[in-house]
Amino acid sequence: MSGNPRRGFLGTAAAALAGVALAPGIRLIELAGARAPGEPVTAKVRWGMLIDTNQCATGCTDCVTACNRENGLQDTGRPRTDAQWIRKIELKDLNGGRQHSAPVMCQHCAHPPCVDVCPTGASFKRADGIVLVDRHTCIGCRYCVMACPYKARSFVHENLTDQKPDVPRGKGCVEGCTLCVQKIDRGDGITACAEACTKAGHGAITFGDLNDPQSAIAKRLRELPNRALRADLRLDPGVRYAGV
């Protein structure tokens, strides 16, 4: 190919440097691709999670505790109406009785039924794949709760006080896992549940950019046999499960 061989060398070197790890999980290419604070999100990034349920111990709820703490979810003593953004489902195989455990939260589908059914468009999918509820336009009709195959959404049944400043939530609106959007937008690059699971040493939850073939999550997705929950519905969730 024609062109300056020095340029070619510099270009290759730059690309190689960008691939070198600066810190675990963070590389120059991620910083370069990271969104500048004043800029809108784009579809260049698609946030997702991989949950390796083989690492999930029955009875472990570290992810649930971390999520509740990060997002200000409180236990009012009324479990039937308390919001739950992530929960551990204990599983038992109907044929054979093998027991298993998996955390389930909003699956952040690419084709979310909750977004389809919301009459005001409050339930929406952000460009980077995070499915959110815009509580400014939510009228609390609960149609999205009816429509979600994963029972991901909760309705707030009581007056709330002491909300976390970065996680506004209130009575009469519907809510669900936000992939810790407040942390993602801050640049933390990880959700509370994934962070807690990693810190505790279980390593069941990997979070990252599904669109980046070099990210940790993309690599693991290539290695570990994984699937979407209710794949028959063709919703293309951003959360994948291995081991179940």
Partner 1 sequence: MATLVHRELSAGAWRFYGPLLVLGGLVAAGFAAFLYMEINGHHVTGMDNQMVWGLPHVFAVFLIVAASGALNVASVASVFGKLEYKPLAPLSGMVSLCVLAGGLAILAADLGRPDRLIVAMTHFNFKSIFALNMFLYSGFFAIVGVYLWFMMERRMSRYSSMAGLAAFIWRIVLTTGTGSIFGFLVAREAYDSALLGPTFVIYSFSYGTALFLIVALAALRWDARALDGAQTARLGRLLAILTAASLYMTAVFHLTKLYVTRYHGIESFLLAEGGIYPLLFWVGQVGLGGVLPLAILYAPRSRGTRAGVLAAAVLVVLGGLAQMYVTIIGAQAWPQPIFPGWQESSRFFDGEIHAYAPSVPELFLALGGVALAAALVAVGVKVLPLLPESCTDSSSPPPTSPPARPR
Partner 2 sequence: MKFLAALLAFAAVLVAGLALAAGRTAKPAVVIERPGACVEATEVMRRDHMKLLMHQRDRTMREGIRTKPHSLAGCVECHASRKTGSVLGEQGFCQSCHAYAGVTLDCFECHAAKPRAQAAGAKP
Please give the residue ranges that form the binding site for partner 2 (CB under 8 A).
35, 37-41, 124, 126-128, 132, 134-136, 160, 162-166, 168-173, 181, 185-186
Nearest approach in angstroms of CB 227 to partner 1 is: 11
Closer residue to partner 1 in complex, CB, 82/166: 82
What strand order describes the sheet that includes 47-52?
205-209, 47-52, 239-242, 226-227
Closer residue to partner 1 in complex, CB, 50/173: 173
Are 176 and 85 spatial neighbours (Cβ–Cβ below 8 Å)?
yes
Interface with partner 1 (CB under 8 A), residue from 48, 113, 189, 238? 113
21 touches partner 1 (CB under 8 A): no
State the CB neighbour count (10 A cutoff) for residue 84. 18
57 Cβ partners below 8 Å, 6+ apart? 101, 202
Instruction: Please tell me whether residue 22 adopts helix, strand or coil conformation.
Output: strand
Interface with partner 1 (CB under 8 A), residue from 35, 100, 125, 202? 100
State the CB neighbour count (10 A cutoff) for residue 198. 17
DSSP structure class, residue 62: H
Contact residues: partner 1, CB under 8 A: 76, 78-84, 87-95, 100, 102, 104, 113, 115-122, 137-143, 145-151, 154-159, 171-174, 229-230, 233, 244
